[in-house]
Structure 1
Amino acid sequence: MEHSIDIVIPTYKPGAVFEKLIYRLQKQTVKPERIIVVNTGEEYWEQAEFDKSPFIFGTLAGIRLELYHIKESEFDHGGTRRWAANKSQAEYMLFMTQDAMPADQYLVANLLKSANQDPLIGAAYARQLPAADCGIIERYTREFNYGEKSRIKSEADVAELGIKTYFCSNVCAMYRRNIYLSAGGFVKHTIFNEDMICAGNMIQKGYKIAYAADARVIHSHNYSGKEQFKRNFDLAVSQAQHPEIFQAVSSESEGVKMVKKTAAYLIQKKYYWLLPELLLQSGCKYIGYRMGKKYRMLPRRVILKCTSNKSYWKEKKSEVVTN
């Protein structure tokens, strides 16, 4: 039985990597009906000169590519994806980021296979593999968060997995449309973490989340300590704003576990010189997280220095974000 699939990709200043992503999606063994691109900043798209590339636009290989532009002030991690999801009527919606590269031609097929294991599965997310330039510490982090074994998670796993029960990444995640809608979809306004908030709502309503280890994308970053601080500040803000999802589970214990395992790995491999870097990055993550949890106590000027998403703190959002 065939299933209808739309792929949704938010973009910002896209370049050659994005063009390669579109090419690889067109080569998938299971093809989507549409690729819906929501680009932030039309002026950046024009600078990229993609209009000169018939290789991307229109209908190619049976896939329709649709392009929508929004202003930078209109972008919201949850609201923009929610708006894009409302443009789809497909049975499944695959959300990706512009820098997530399919590792092979079976990405969509394996996500679909995973999502169809159980009619209660609301979302299936892919394994993220490190890129060639990925640092040693981040490479191990990929392995820690995205292991070799697939798993289906439900409310029954909270006691064992804690916050990882709700883990789902819109770097590459396929949602079953009817369950997505039943769970309320992506929140209209969030600084970050729209994927875990949605997954948490699904699980609390009795649905399930699948981790598909055989669906693989190449995706990693070499963040600085400052970037880690800001990223974890925003993460904690999103958790503080959604106690209905995160209050009963702790992120800190999982973070401590990852630091310990990473340190043990570095010692085992005799990468002793990386231990100070691990401690620095872990400290930046922890301080950013703790400050984000207490953001309501911070002056606005401090918040704007801590966040990586200054536009989120503006008072007004457009209809593109809120509908």
Structure 2
Amino acid sequence: MDPLVSIVVRCYNEEEHIGRLLSGIVEQTIANETEIIVVDSGSTDATVSIASRFPTNIITIDPDEFSFGRALNIGCEEASGKFIVAASAHVYPVYEDWLERLIAPFDNPQVALTYGKQRGNEVTKYAEHQVFAQWFPDESNYDQDHPFCNNANAAIRRALWEKMPYNEKLTGLEDLDWAKRAMERGYNIAYVADAPIIHVHDEEPSQIFNRYRREAIAMKRIFPRQSFTLWDFFNLFISNAVKDSLSAFRDGVLSYTFRDILIFRLMQFWGTYKGFRQSGEVNSRLKKRYFYPGRDFDTDEGVGRDSKRRIDYSERQKEHANFYV
């Protein structure tokens, strides 16, 4: 019997995080209706070894072949579930009913894609906590009027993916591109606030810059009429840095977050500006720089709900790893 849900996890050198994600998946209320597909793009650490201790189907692809869309398409080709969940290897669910709630909006046949709330942890930069709170609010919206979504925590209908696979040429935002095309076909996008995950980002400034640059390159291809000028850079950098600083001041943490706020917002918007300035096709050398920039976030404030179905990760990862060996 085919599973209800296929979870596709893309990874590269994620030994620090992937075990916790897989532990969270096998704790889900519908774990017995779920299959896990891990698409690894050339990890040189213990990522594959850790993933192999869990009930996973591991697919290895050449790093030279990698794009976010291609890795997802390869995973989706192996999927047999009615719904496909995309999860980054450096996220983990907060509650045992994460999957159950993430796919609930599919009761409406017009819903093509759902995505859940994201929050950071104690290593997350203060400004990125602000980004998460802005992009992933506390209220759900099962019929949003824009294509924003995020494949760190999202689900789609496999039948629709078969007609409309992910764009493999984009340097990022393959999720937004897919959602845009689904909406153009008359489908709905649903945001599920009560399906939260913790997204673990602990990036150097150059990695933040690289992430936003490659996403801006993709944004320009998805929305060719959009622009991002030097004025936009200065305006957004200053306004967001001021807003973050005021919030940090109210929280009593400005003295030790101010520098990080400035660096994060500078890298975010300078990377965006440089991405929009990029012209021509992205060659293989640049692709490696965008996708493998070295090496390559846990407070869970704002995830909401009570602790009744919360997953305890203190011993779960070790127990599951030993059980599935």
- Counterpart in 1 of 2:314? none
| Aligned partner of residue 215 in structure 1, secondary structure | strand
| Runs (5+) with no aligned partner, structure 1 | 58-64, 158-164, 312-323
Cα distance in 2 for partners of 1:82, 1:237 equals 21
- Counterpart in 1 of 2:302? none
The count of corresponding residues between Structure 1 and Structure 2 is 286
- Counterpart in 2 of 1:90? 81
Deviations along 1:57-113, one digit per CA (max 9) or x if unpaired, are 4xxxxxxx2111112112111111112112223210011111110111111001111
Matched, 1:33 2:31: no
Q: Quote how far apart the aligned CAs of 1:26 are.
A: 1.1
Cα distance in 1 for partners of 2:135, 2:29 equals 27
| Runs (5+) with no aligned partner, structure 2 | 294-325
- Counterpart in 2 of 1:227? 207
Q: Quote how far apart the aligned CAs of 1:42 are.
A: 6.2
Q: Quote how far apart the aligned CAs of 1:258 are.
A: 5.1
- Counterpart in 2 of 1:281? 264
- Counterpart in 1 of 2:71? 80
| Aligned partner of residue 142 in structure 2, secondary structure | strand
- Counterpart in 2 of 1:61? none
- Counterpart in 2 of 1:140? 130
Matched, 1:291 2:274: yes
| Aligned partner of residue 279 in structure 2, secondary structure | helix
CA separation of 1:277/1:18 partners in 2, compared to 1, >3 Å: closer, same or farther?
A: closer
Residue 273 of structure 2 aligns with an amino acid whose one-letter code is R
Which of 144, 147, 157 is residue 166 of structure 1 equivalent to?
A: 147
CA separation of 1:93/1:216 partners in 2, compared to 1, >3 Å: closer, same or farther?
A: same
Matches within 5 A, 1:165-184: 165-182=146-163, 184=164
- Counterpart in 1 of 2:115? 125
CA separation of 1:136/1:307 partners in 2, compared to 1, >3 Å: closer, same or farther?
A: same
Does structure 2 retain, via aligned residues, the 8 Å contact 1:236–1:293? yes
| Aligned partner of residue 285 in structure 1, secondary structure | helix
Cα distance in 1 for partners of 2:71, 2:91 equals 18
CA separation of 1:278/1:69 partners in 2, compared to 1, >3 Å: closer, same or farther?
A: same
Cα distance in 1 for partners of 2:244, 2:75 equals 37
CA separation of 1:232/1:42 partners in 2, compared to 1, >3 Å: closer, same or farther?
A: closer
CA separation of 1:153/1:17 partners in 2, compared to 1, >3 Å: closer, same or farther?
A: same
Q: Quote how far apart the aligned CAs of 1:294 are.
A: 1.6
Cα distance in 2 for partners of 1:79, 1:308 equals 15
TM-score by length of 1: 0.77
| Aligned partner of residue 132 in structure 1, secondary structure | coil
Does structure 1 retain, via aligned residues, the 8 Å contact 2:228–2:276? no
- Counterpart in 2 of 1:315? none
Matched, 1:266 2:248: yes
Does structure 2 retain, via aligned residues, the 8 Å contact 1:130–1:220? yes
Cα distance in 1 for partners of 2:263, 2:132 equals 18
Q: Quote how far apart the aligned CAs of 1:11 are.
A: 1.7
Cα distance in 2 for partners of 1:85, 1:305 equals 22
Residue 149 of structure 1 aligns with an amino acid whose one-letter code is E
Residue 56 of structure 1 aligns with an amino acid whose one-letter code is F
Cα distance in 2 for partners of 1:119, 1:127 equals 22
Cα distance in 2 for partners of 1:272, 1:133 equals 16
Cα distance in 1 for partners of 2:240, 2:73 equals 32
Cα distance in 1 for partners of 2:212, 2:161 equals 26
Does structure 1 retain, via aligned residues, the 8 Å contact 2:171–2:287? no
| Aligned partner of residue 187 in structure 1, secondary structure | coil
Matches within 5 A, 1:207-246: 207-243=187-223
Residue 157 of structure 2 aligns with an amino acid whose one-letter code is R
Q: Quote how far apart the aligned CAs of 1:285 are.
A: 1.8
Matches within 5 A, 1:101-120: 101-116=92-107, 118-120=108-110
Q: Quote how far apart the aligned CAs of 1:126 are.
A: 1.3
- Counterpart in 1 of 2:14? 14
Residue 4 of structure 2 aligns with an amino acid whose one-letter code is S
Residue 211 of structure 2 aligns with an amino acid whose one-letter code is R
Matched, 1:152 2:152: no
Residue 67 of structure 2 aligns with an amino acid whose one-letter code is D
